Chain A
């Protein structure tokens, strides 16, 4: 068991450094536009993702419950969702250059995770002992992973418009816009069902009320309303292209604020 306990953090650090290497390789690929560099970056990224998955599995074995109960565990799970979403989009659109932006965003989330306490507790606190906990946190993490990919594609879109990056390796504007919109449209229902609905139902079981205006709940409502607005504006053809890209980046900033808000906002969700 001790070996597994070490494996958890060792795999975490291994995946962290490999994501960093993949970022360097993706940047080289975008700069020199040579396919072997892109393939090497993708291979390293895939290996990092496997280590990342291993780190989560080891954590699960050590703590005997899914790794969502602390902010460190949530950050590692959320970054895993980012890597997974990126993999799905890369497979769908066959554009390796997106990694130039997604891999550093991943590294940023993992840096935040590395600064958080990593103590593993086998005992889930009573409030977290519910299957709603797994539904709520898993869907919220997947949603935020998709929002981060949307923000990454948004950054690439804006960088392209300014002429940065190689035009032949980066996806076209239409494709980038589609990636941003698709990522938001994947994240939005997951966030609505997971963070809002499942969270409210769980709160009713755990605390006897669906909604408490707790700072974290309010933060989730703000994020939900924001993406609701983005989608309405997108549907009516107002926020397309550059505006949609900026909207995705602002959404990521709001999600990040709500996530790190646990450290200073207090309330019923103050788990560190």
Chain B
């Protein structure tokens, strides 16, 4: 039973299982991504319609699996939770080993272990001193082949090792050595921060997930649309009130929108100012854990601040202009007629039930007016961008809409995310981990220097082909270092 439990827990934290869980999350996300695009956005509102028009059972399956919003479905959350559990288990179980590995340098156990490695060399001090000609010298070669090596005295060994060590250090490797029984065992390594980096990255992802969880459980968000002068309670305790003082749309090059600016004041219960400032996109205002973001804007349907209307009375040649404010009337000429604004539509469309605005944006601004003259009152529409369609009035009055200033409502998103600092800490940890992990190139060479010679082996590297070249280079550098052949 205990063995079974051990095997299960080992399987749970294995690389193999980690890969399976990542693959599961990958396929779940891919499926969600595709479903998000295929399921119509109005599926929830028109479930009955799709139930009838699609194949039988399809709409029910979409509803059951929540494919209209797959990333908040139970099945996706289950995969995400499982991924999180495996990630936490892997972090906890590997922490000690990785921490110890990065602190301690492992020294070689014996010469045989090194000789077995595919990337190794075994050179006697004598052959090194003989240089390239040593291989051709029958005496040196015979001695090497039959293990008859000349031993150097311990002081000379220290001197030789110091030269090897200096050479390895010049190549960016950190050398750790140990002396026992007349031999020097050493490890030359680089990129040792890679393992802690791996740990930090995985821990960072755990922290990010926790931050996201805190945000989704304890955070909140909401939208308010306010025009200048209006107020809204500031959640969560409504002890403060948010007032919009001004909303401006700032234009830049070629009339393109440069910024949306809301100037706001946060007021206390007695009307005192608690905070004030300007909010722009990318520049939110924070107040006691609540962030206020410039999210959007809209125009009040039927509302306008002022409209400029030009007119020409019957028999006149020139045009005159009158300004309309709200629903107040204006007199035309010397009292020949009175014009009153009735309704403003920012994006005029005509539907079966009459005129309506297709959007809150000024795509086709139109103003409905009533002209009262001696012959009675008459209503009609004036169009800013399409004056050819302006209403003709019986009294012979020619009216045109020259300009209109709509009433803007700024769209502010209020949100609070207590998980934000945790998320930021996770991003920082994971970023540092990534930098260590991917920009440290771990290489480990272990060796033993004896009184007869030097045995070394490349035991760890990430890039096989490059490390082979580097190892061959080190071998050649050592040869050159000790070559006394001239």
Say yes or no for A34: interface residue by CB 8 A criterion.
no
A121 touches which of B22, B256, B417 (Cβ 8 Å): B256
CB distance from B219 to the nearest CB of A (A): 9
Q: Which residue of A lies closest to B71 (CB)?
A: A213
Instruction: Tell which of A123, A192, A208 touches B257, judged by Cβ atoms closer than 8 Å.
Output: A123
- On whether the beta carbons of A215 and B215 are closer than 8 Å, the reply is no
- By a CB distance below 8 angstroms, the chain B residues around A201 are 424, 427
Q: Mark B434-467, 1 if CB is under 8 A from A, else 0.
A: 1101110000000000000000000000011110
Contact with A215, one of B36, B260, B284 (Cβ below 8 angstroms) = B36
Assess whether B221 is interfacial by the CB under 8 Å rule: yes
Does B329 belong to the interface (CB within 8 Å)?
Answer: no
Chain B 28-47: CB-based contact to A (< 8 A → 1; otherwise 0): 01101100110000000000
CA distance A29 to B415 in the complex (A): 60
Assess the B33–A215 pair: CB atoms within 8 A: yes
Count A-side interface residues using an 8 Å CB cutoff. 50
Q: How far is the CA of A123 from the CA of B256 in the complex (A)?
A: 6
Complexed CA–CA distance, A222 and B34 (Å): 11
- Complex CA gap A218/B76 in Å reads 13
Query: A155-185 interface mask toward B, CB cutoff 8 Å, 1 = contact, 0 = none?
Result: 0000000000000000010110110011001
CA distance A177 to B466 in the complex (A): 11
Chain B residue at minimal CB-CB distance from A193: B431
Residue of B nearest to A210 (CB): B423
Interface size on B, residues (CB 8 A): 53
Given A126-B257, A188-B438, A225-B25, also A175-B282 (CB < 8 A): no
- Could you say which residues of chain B place their CB within 8 Å of the CB of A122? 252-254, 256
Closest CB in chain A relative to B413 CB, distance in Å:
5
A236 touches B282 (CB 8 A): no
- Say whether B231 faces chain A, with CB atoms less than 8 Å apart: no
Known: A122-B253, A206-B282, A232-B22. A178 touches B464 (CB 8 A): yes
A229 located at the interface, meaning its Cβ lies under 8 Å from any Cβ of chain B in the complex: yes
**Which residues in A have their C-beta under 8 angstroms from that of B23?**
229
**Contact A126 B465, CB 8 Å, known A208-B413, A219-B33:** no
Please indicate the chain A residues that have their CB under 8 angstroms from the CB of B145 in the complex. Answer: none
For B212, list chain A residues within 8 Å (CB).
210-211
Q: Are A126 and B280 in contact (CB under 8 A)?
A: yes
Question: B364 at interface (Cβ–Cβ under 8 A)?
Answer: no
B420: chain A residues at CB < 8 Å are 204, 210
Does B287 interact with chain A (Cβ within 8 Å)?
A: no
Contact yes or no, A193 B434, CB < 8 A: yes
CB neighbours (8 Å) of A222 from chain B are: 26, 29-30, 33
Residues in B neighbouring A238, C-beta threshold 8 A: 19
A10 adjacent to chain B (CB < 8 Å): no
Assess whether B190 is interfacial by the CB under 8 Å rule. Answer: no
Nearest CB on A from B231, distance (A): 20
B434 close to A208 (CB less than 8 A): no
Cβ of A210 and Cβ of B33 under 8 Å apart?
A: no
**Does A125 sit within 8 A of B, measured CB to CB?**
yes
Least CB distance from A201 to B in Å reads 7
- On whether the beta carbons of A209 and B438 are closer than 8 Å, the reply is no
A92 vs B253: C-alpha distance when bound (angstroms): 45
What string of 1s and 0s marks CB contacts (under 8 Å) between B403-425 and chain A?
00000000001010100100110
Asked if A1 is at the interface (CB within 8 A of a chain B CB), the reply is no
Nearest A residue (CB) for B18: A232
- Main secondary structure on A side of the interface with B: helix
User: Which of A129, A208, A211, A233 is the one whose CB lies under 8 Å from B293?
Assistant: A208
> With A121-B256, A126-B282 in contact, is A236–B438 under 8 Å at CB?
no
Closest residue on chain A to residue B431 by CB atoms? A193
Measured between C-beta atoms, what is the minimum distance from B230 to chain A in Å? 20
- B277 → A minimal CB distance (Å): 15
Contacts known (A208-B284, A210-B423); A218 close to B32, Cβ less than 8 A: yes
Residues of B within 8 A of A174 (CB): 464-465
Beta-carbon nearest neighbor of A214 in chain B: B36
Complex contacts, B413 vs chain A, CB 8 Å = 207-208
B288, CB-defined interface residue at 8 Å: no
Residues of A within 8 A of B437 (CB): 189
Q: Which residue from chain B places its CB closest to the CB of A64 in the assembled complex? A: B253
Q: Smallest distance from the beta carbon of B104 to chain A beta carbons, Å? A: 22
B438 touches A265 (CB 8 A): no
Q: Is the CB of A127 within 8 A of B37?
A: no
Decide: A236 near B259, CB < 8 A? Known: A126-B280, A185-B438, A208-B221: no
Residues from chain A with Cβ under 8 Å of B252 in the complex = 122-123
How far, in Å, is A55 (CB) from chain B's closest CB? 21
Taken together as a complex, chains A and B put the C-alpha atoms of A233 and B253 apart, in Å, by: 51
CA distance A213 to B280 in the complex (A): 23
Tell me which residues across on chain B come within 8 A of A47, comparing CB atoms: none
A residues whose Cβ falls under 8 Å from a Cβ of B:
121-123, 125-127, 129-130, 132, 172, 174-175, 177-178, 181-182, 185-186, 188-189, 192-193, 197, 200-202, 204-211, 213, 215, 218-219, 221-222, 225-226, 228-229, 232-233, 235-236, 238, 265
14 CB < 8 A contacts A-B: A121-B254, A122-B254, A126-B257, A178-B464, A197-B427, A205-B282, A208-B291, A215-B36, A218-B29, A218-B36, A221-B29, A222-B29, A225-B26, A228-B22
Known: A126-B260, A210-B420. 14 other contacts (CB 8 A): A121-B254, A126-B294, A172-B465, A192-B434, A200-B427, A205-B283, A207-B293, A207-B295, A225-B25, A229-B22, A233-B19, A235-B15, A236-B15, A236-B16
Q: For the complex of A and B, list the 8 residue pairs with the smallest distance between their C-beta atoms, beginning with the closest.
A: A123-B256, A122-B253, A225-B26, A208-B293, A126-B281, A189-B434, A123-B252, A236-B15
Mark B residues whose CB is within 8 Å of A. Answer: 15-16, 18-19, 22-23, 25-26, 29-30, 32-33, 36-37, 71, 212, 215, 221, 252-254, 256-260, 280-284, 291, 293-295, 413, 415, 417, 420, 423-424, 427, 430-431, 434-435, 437-439, 463-466
